[in-house]
């Protein structure tokens, strides 16, 4: 079967906007022509791709599966076009990256500030997910690269580069001031209420294994989706929990949190850039990747 790329281009815009009218406007075409092309594509593929609704169109299961492939292909083609246009493309374009909450606050925000000062015309789209979900999105070709926190496993085709090591500490609200004067073992405080990131996050799995290694059976009393949500809960004495020291430091200095000097050594953690070694990046994405890599090197060397 011959592939009519124009059909897929039009399908991409219809799926992107969820509207025949908006797709026609973006393509500088008209609604009857877009509708005709979509019917021809459905006939060619022998399946229904979309359903008309009051507020526009929605993709069928077959339509969603096709759109996932077409979206990746479209991004690759636009990236190739930017590259062919010359070196100036390195100063323009859009970059899609995945990032975890901790990676965003400890490394990415500061690095992006400098990058946007130097490359103001490059647009950055950040997709915030857990580490496992971010890796899945990257492997599916939906991101240019990802900035995530360890631990995580990746397929062989994904490359990882360390940009920042960070330390976590055990903290609690003022109510837990007595613990701050001790150096308890993990088993000594297992019955205290705990606050932590929920199932499906790399952090949850990390500390689940940490407790198992120390023969401690522990369940979180409160599970949250992001580290930002942990801090106010811990500050209000809902429980104790592990936080990146740099994120907890402002509240520790103000006395709104206390650090509990746990005798058991906490797992080492880092922030890494993950990319697909088998897939090229657009000039804009490559520029941003190299900038982040350089920023990581500078932070590690202290320069």
Non-local CB neighbours of 197 within 8 Å, separated by 6+ positions? 203, 204, 223, 224, 225, 226, 227, 230
Average pLDDT over residues 235-247: 94
Q: How far apart are CA 138 and CA 275, in angstroms?
A: 8
We find that the CATH architecture of domain 5-82 is Orthogonal Bundle (1.10)
Beta bridge partners of 164: 271
Q: Model confidence over 5-26: pLDDT tens digits?
A: 889 999 999 998 899 988 888 8
Pick the CATH number of 88-164+276-301 from 3.30.450.40, 3.20.20.80, 3.40.50.1820, 3.40.190.10: 3.40.190.10
Q: Model confidence over 94-116: pLDDT tens digits?
A: 899 999 999 999 999 999 999 99
Which regions of the chain carry the CATH code 1.10.10.10?
5-82
Which regions of the chain carry the CATH code 3.40.190.10?
88-164+276-301, 168-265
Q: Give the residue among 95, 48, 23, 49 at the shortest CA–CA distance from 282.
A: 95
Q: Model confidence over 207-219: pLDDT tens digits?
A: 999 999 999 988 8
168-265: CATH topology is: D-Maltodextrin-Binding Protein; domain 2 (3.40.190)
| 0.85 surpassed by pTM | no
Query: How would residue 88 be classed by pLDDT, with cut points 50, 70 and 90?
Result: low
Q: How far apart are CA 224 and CA 233, in angstroms?
A: 10
Residue 32 neighbours by CB distance under 10 Å: 10
């Amino acid at each position: 079967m011959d592939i009519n790329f124009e059909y897929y281009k039009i399908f991409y815009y219809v799926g992107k906007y969820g509207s025949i009218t908006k797709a026609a406007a973006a393509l500088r075409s008209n609604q009857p022509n877009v509708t005709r092309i979509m019917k021809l594509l459905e006939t060619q593929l022998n399946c229904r791709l979309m359903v008309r609704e009051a507020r526009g169109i929605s993709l069928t299961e077959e339509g969603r599966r096709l759109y996932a492939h077409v979206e990746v292909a479209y991004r690759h083609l636009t990236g190739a076009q930017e590259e062919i246009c010359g070196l100036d493309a390195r100063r323009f374009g859009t970059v899609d990256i995945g990032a975890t909450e901790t990676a965003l606050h400890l490394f990415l925000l500061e690095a992006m500030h400098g990058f946007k000062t130097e490359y103001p015309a490059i647009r950055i789209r950040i997709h915030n997910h857990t580490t496992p979900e971010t890796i899945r999105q990257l492997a599916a070709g939906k991101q240019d690269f990802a900035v995530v926190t360890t631990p995580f496993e990746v397929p062989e085709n994904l490359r990882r580069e360390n940009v920042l090591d960070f330390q976590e500490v055990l903290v609690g609200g003022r109510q837990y001031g007595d613990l701050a004067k001790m150096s308890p073992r993990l088993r000594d405080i297992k019955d205290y209420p705990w606050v932590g990131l929920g199932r499906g996050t790399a952090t949850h799995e990390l500390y689940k294994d940490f407790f198992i290694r120390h023969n401690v059976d522990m369940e979180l009393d409160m599970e949250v989706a992001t580290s930002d949500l942990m801090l106010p809960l811990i500050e209000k004495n809902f429980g104790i929990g592990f936080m990146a020291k740099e994120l907890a430091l402002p509240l520790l200095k103000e006395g709104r949190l206390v650090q509990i000097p746990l005798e058991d050594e906490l797992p080492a953690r880092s922030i890494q850039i993950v990319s697909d070694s088998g897939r090229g990046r657009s000039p804009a994405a490559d520029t941003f990747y190299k900038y982040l890599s350089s920023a990581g090197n500078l932070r590690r060397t202290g320069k």
